[in-house]
Amino acid sequence: MEQWATREEIGAARERLESGHTDYRRPAAYAVGVCRDGETVFGLTNVGTSPLPAIVLAIECGHTCGTATYELTPARLASAMDALAPAEACAELQHPNLVEWKRIAAELRERGGRPVAVFVGNLSDSPVDEHDRAFRAAIA
């Protein structure tokens, strides 16, 4: 299995993924949340940070740019976690998105619900749906 053991290797992996995902532009903010009983909740949010998990998640969702939300399946969330897992080899960095995605996966197994990915292209964009509105409230 591929591993990215240094900051440089992580940077190179991010650049490779970004350049290979046609028309991709980094989001201003993004996260994975859980929708259950009509409410979407976010534990970890990313505003202007963590570009590697952003591109990994974008590839899994088919997201390229702008503001959008994507309902995921547990299998698609697991696929994103697998794609980000090589970064764990870099002990210099913490990996809060991977930790959060694993926590969400465990929560979904225990309590049900649906994972939801939200990408905000520009913070001045209007929310596109209820998941995006919940995300904007979480980052406010």
47: CATH: 3.30.70.2010
pLDDT at position 76 is 96
Q: Give the number of other CB atoms < 10 A from CB of residue 115.
A: 23
Q: Is residue 1 part of a domain?
A: no
% of the chain beyond a pLDDT of 90: 99
Instruction: Report pLDDT for 139.
Output: 96
Give the span between the Cα atoms of 35 and 115, in whole angstroms.
6
Nearest CA to 103 out of 37, 32, 10 is that of 32
Count structural domains, the chain: 1
The candidate with the shortest Cα–Cα distance to 107, out of 30, 44, 29, is: 44
Would you say residue 1 has pLDDT above 80? no
Residue 98 located in a structural domain? yes
Residues 90-132: tens digit of each pLDDT = 999 999 999 999 999 999 999 999 999 999 999 999 999 999 9
pTM beyond 0.85: the answer is yes
The reply to whether 57 falls in a domain is yes
pLDDT on residue 97: 97
Give me the domain span that covers residue 130.
7-139
